[in-house]
Amino acid sequence: MKRFVQLYQELDSTSGTNDKLDALVRYFSESTDEDKVWCIGLLTGKRPTRPVKTSLMKIWAAELAGIPEWLFDESYYVTGDLGEVLSLLITSEGTSDSKPLNIWMRELEEIKKKTDEEKKAYVTNAWSILNQSERFVFNKLIGGSFRIGISSGSIVNALSKYCGQTPAAVQFALSGKWNPATTSLVDLMEGKDNEISKPYPFFLANGIDFPVENLGPVGDWIIEKKWDGIRGQLIKRKGEIFVWSRGEELITDGFPEFKLLVPHLTNGSVLDGEIICHNESHPLPFQLLQSRINRKSVSKNLLKSAPVSFLAYDIFEYNGEDIRSYPLSERKKILEDLVKKTANSTLLLSEVLLVKDWSDAAAIRAESRKLHCEGLMLKSASSSYQSGRKRGDWWKWKVDPFTIDAVMIYAMQGHGKRANLFTDYTFAVWDNDKLVPFAKAYSGLNNEEIAEVDSFVKKNTIEKFGPVRSVNAELVFEIAFEGIQNSPRHKSGIALRFPRIHRWRKDKLHTEANTIEDLRNLLEQYGK
């Protein structure tokens, strides 16, 4: 545990990519194989489920610290981090412990089966023997909130340097639903775990931030609609179908329609595409697809009301052969032939748009919302299928977002390093002479603007509700969003897709903000 905590501190204390890379390589060189596997799992998001309720941990910590519950809550609001406040309130400076990381993790798995009293004895004993830094990491692990600011690319590069494998081979080895508790380092790095269902790392596009004409001749590019669905990989190996989300979640059970492809789809095929709700003529709104997400079983009514298809736009394994190195133009021909042979409406082919020039493409992009998509994808016809987000070959050319001017009426404290700042805001629009809340957002402001808004909140607070403050309705912000839909759960009756702050409208008075009628007009035009 000591060595893992040291690594955590090294990674948390620097923003330098090379420094993080060096720290990881040192850790892999010095730790046991069992600890390496758990470290890789934790850093790539394979956290174990929470073995102890955080509500119980709060009670136990308050008892040990000898403070009332309200004071614990106030301390939590100040720090904004449960792991940190738990480690600070317990004053014991333990002598530390020599147990390695893998033993701690196995114990955390075991205590899930224990009674609350047994859990209390285990947790409080751990707090007594660990020093403050170790307690902090332990609290993160047991509370199910362990995360650290490091990219998957850095982890892949560090393992590549340590193992002597290519980054692509390492990234493929780490993909899929492997379990640190049951996977050895050798099996992991050789890709033996989940061999049948294992997905490939996704290739991600960058947003185009320059004149599209700079890409050169339009004929060098494959242009498609950017679909508004769930990015996924559809895999058929050894007579079985597997569906993976971009977040490397195995979601096959939530989409039983795809299992109907078993007798039709060629074995040894891995397709990249978008899961969308789709009727016979065109895609359906994303809100319908949301009703299918995170379900282990799907009712007959839901299968009928929210039918899905897999809209394929790439293939990178065919007849069991990895064809990622083939040019996209060749992969497209293979994919088109495969979809035609499959001849099943559950598997569709993403249409390649034929355009004369970039102005022709721009005209199609301008009609995106009417075409039930978010814009265009631009992919180099000669590009291989790579991994991660790399500039140059794949671009997303999204339609401009909707915008609305709104008034900030509530602010909430942030978490972690922003725990002492009000960074999460609730916005409202006018309904006659009343302000109606309709959206929350926390991104879009720079550090200087956040500090300025924080100062305003502290000087203009009307009421306090724990970490939330209601404030004088004076500040106006332009809110950008991707979509709009009806929502009976919201007071305004409206929900936005991906709301964020576009800019601070210091040039506007609060009385000049938009109205609920403006939102309803957008809903009428684009929300269906």
> What is the arithmetic mean of pLDDT over 21-46?
91
pLDDT 10s digits, 232-256:
999 999 999 999 998 778 888 889 9
Distances (CA, A) of 441 to 178, 411, 493, 499: 35, 10, 17, 6
Per-residue confidence (pLDDT) for residue 416, from 0 to 100 = 65
Instruction: Give all strands of the β-sheet with 221-225 in edge-to-edge order.
Output: 206-207, 394-398, 375-380, 221-225
Mean pLDDT of the chain: 89
CB 331 within 8 A of CB 338: no
Tell me the CB-side half-sphere exposure of residue 379, using CA atoms within 13 A. 24
Per-residue confidence (pLDDT) for residue 97, from 0 to 100 = 64
pLDDT at 378 over 90: yes
Q: Which of 344, 349, 200 has its CA nearest to residue 269?
A: 200
Distances (CA, A) of 70 to 73, 76, 225, 312, 313: 5, 10, 53, 54, 55
pLDDT at 195 over 80: no
CB 151 within 8 A of CB 24: no
What secondary structure does DSSP assign to 308-365, as a single string? EEEEEEEEEEETTEE-TTS-HHHHHHHHHHHHHHH--TTEEEPPBPP-SSHHHHHHHH
CB 487 within 8 A of CB 497: no
Cβ-Cβ contacts under 8 Å for 481 (sequence gap 6 or more): 401, 402, 403, 404, 439, 496, 497, 498, 499, 500
Q: Select the more confidently predicted residue: 90 or 220.
A: 220
> What is the arithmetic mean of pLDDT over 302-320?
92
Per-residue confidence (pLDDT) for residue 115, from 0 to 100 = 93
pLDDT at 296 over 90: no
State whether the Cα torsion 392-394-399-403 is positive or negative: negative
Q: What angle do CA 450, 456, 460 make, to 5 degrees?
A: 145
Beta bridge partners, 407, equal 428, 476
Beta bridge partners, 225, equal 376
Name the phi and psi angles at 515, rounded to 5. Answer: -115, 165
pLDDT at 171 over 70: yes
Lowest mean pLDDT among 159-163, 229-233, 486-490: 486-490
Per-residue confidence (pLDDT) for residue 218, from 0 to 100 = 96
pTM over 0.85: no
Q: Select the more confidently predicted residue: 79 or 103.
A: 103
Alpha carbon distance 316, 334 (integer Å):
10
Per-residue confidence (pLDDT) for residue 274, from 0 to 100 = 95
pLDDT at 230 over 70: yes
Tokens 């065919």: give the residue: 318
- Classify 253 as helix, strand or coil: helix
**Tokens representing 144?**
């199910």
Per-residue confidence (pLDDT) for residue 376, from 0 to 100 = 96
First to last CA, the chain: 54
pLDDT at 223 over 90: yes
Per-residue confidence (pLDDT) for residue 299, from 0 to 100 = 86
> What is the arithmetic mean of pLDDT over 379-406?
93
Alpha carbon distance 321, 461 (integer Å):
63
Lowest mean pLDDT among 11-15, 268-272, 424-428, 517-521: 11-15
Per-residue confidence (pLDDT) for residue 95, from 0 to 100 = 64
State what percent of residues in the chain have pLDDT above 90.
51
| DSSP 8-state code for residue 432 | T
- Classify 161 as helix, strand or coil: helix
Q: Select the more confidently predicted residue: 134 or 330.
A: 330
> What is the arithmetic mean of pLDDT over 466-474?
91
Per-residue confidence (pLDDT) for residue 289, from 0 to 100 = 83
Dihedral of CA atoms 78, 84, 89, 90 in degrees, nearest 10, equals 180
Lowest mean pLDDT among 50-64, 272-286, 350-364, 423-437: 272-286
Per-residue confidence (pLDDT) for residue 527, from 0 to 100 = 65
Alpha carbon distance 383, 381 (integer Å):
6
Q: Strand 394-398 and strand 206-207: pairing?
A: parallel
Name the phi and psi angles at 220, rounded to 5. Answer: -85, 0
Lowest mean pLDDT among 88-102, 153-167, 204-218: 88-102
State what percent of residues in the chain have pLDDT above 70.
97
**Tokens representing 210?**
């320059």
Tell me which range, 54-58, 116-120, 522-526, is most confidently predicted by mean pLDDT.
Answer: 116-120
| Residue 94 pLDDT grade (very low, low, confident, very high; cuts 50, 70, 90) | low
**Tokens representing 389?**
């987000």
pLDDT at 528 over 60: no
Neighbours of 391 (CB within 10 A): 9
CB 318 within 8 A of CB 268: yes
pLDDT 10s digits, 409-464:
999 988 766 767 899 999 999 999 999 999 999 999 999 999 999 999 999 999 98
Per-residue confidence (pLDDT) for residue 357, from 0 to 100 = 96
CB 502 within 8 A of CB 515: no
Dihedral of CA atoms 288, 290, 295, 299 in degrees, nearest 10, equals -10
Per-residue confidence (pLDDT) for residue 211, from 0 to 100 = 94
> What is the arithmetic mean of pLDDT over 60-68?
88
- Classify 402 as helix, strand or coil: strand
**Tokens representing 375?**
């814009």
**Range list of H helices, 145-268:** 152-163, 167-174, 185-189
Per-residue confidence (pLDDT) for residue 122, from 0 to 100 = 92
